[in-house]
Amino acid sequence: MKVSEKLENINKEIYSACERAGRQPDTVKIVAVTKYVSNERTQEAVDAGLVHLGENRPEGFHEKKEAVSGNIKWHYIGSLQSRKVKNVINDIDYLHSLDRLSLVKEIQKRAEHQVDCFIQINVSGEEQKHGLSPENAAHFVEDLANYDKINVVGLMTMAPLTEDEEVIRSCFKQLAVLRDSIAAKNLQHAPCTELSMGMSNDFTIAIEEGATYIRIGSSLVGE
């Protein structure tokens, strides 16, 4: 199926989720996760009108960035090893996986401009997952005041892999509460207004719980 057809279907689901939640559809941005797909398929996504693209590997990123043209904002959504920071940090518009001080320090050293970052939170506490615990998030964000290359635009999470909607919903709800509590501090380096949550299988729930960026791969650009 063409990306444009898949996008039409996704947009319908976004609209009805927004309607259920009493939200305006233009408050939800789609990050098309193109990490699995070819440069051609990625170009097709851009031509379908998708602006935000998500990648998760330093390898191949530059090649893709050069091959694909248009009005694009590049989102780095995967865990980022500190030693790879220098390879990508000046070529992305958003980082969704800031989760530790060593990474902050490396960004401070390597970035030529301020980087818009989401703090990745491990809401569900699963051991194999990256991200700060919700308890540690507020302090972590406050400490970032000392690093002028970091602008905290919001929080990001991945819900547990489960069929249980209530477990997923509870995870997203907790992230929204945490986002609100950090935003309420009115920190200059951390407006923290955005919520990056929801993927192919759970983005409608995420929208109902306040997602402003949904990260969709397989059901949007999958071949």
Ligand X SMILES: *Cc1c(COP(=O)(O)O)cnc(C)c1O
Q: Which is nearer to ligand X, 78 or 160 (CB)?
A: 78
Window 129 to 158, contacts with ligand X (CB under 6 A): 158
Q: Which of 46, 77, 95, 137 binds ligand X (CB under 6 A)?
A: 77
52 binds ligand X (CB under 6 A): no
DSSP state of 211: -
Alpha-carbon gap, residue 116 to 113, rounded angstroms: 10
Q: Do 48 and 7 meet the contact criterion of CB atoms below 8 Å apart?
A: yes
Alpha-carbon gap, residue 223 to 89, rounded angstroms: 29
Q: Do 213 and 32 meet the contact criterion of CB atoms below 8 Å apart?
A: no
Q: Look up residue 75 and give its amino acid.
A: H
195 binds ligand X (CB under 6 A): no
Q: Which is nearer to ligand X, 118 or 140 (CB)?
A: 118
160 binds ligand X (CB under 6 A): no
Q: Which of 175, 199, 207, 211 binds ligand X (CB under 6 A)?
A: 199
Stretch binding ligand X (CB under 6 A), from 104-112, 130-138, 139-147, 212-220: 212-220
Helix-helix angle 165-183:134-143, to 10 degrees: 30
Which residues does residue 121 pair with via DSSP β-bridges, in sequence order? 132
191 binds ligand X (CB under 6 A): no
Which residues lie near ligand X (CB under 6 A)? 33, 35, 56, 77-78, 158, 199-201, 215-218
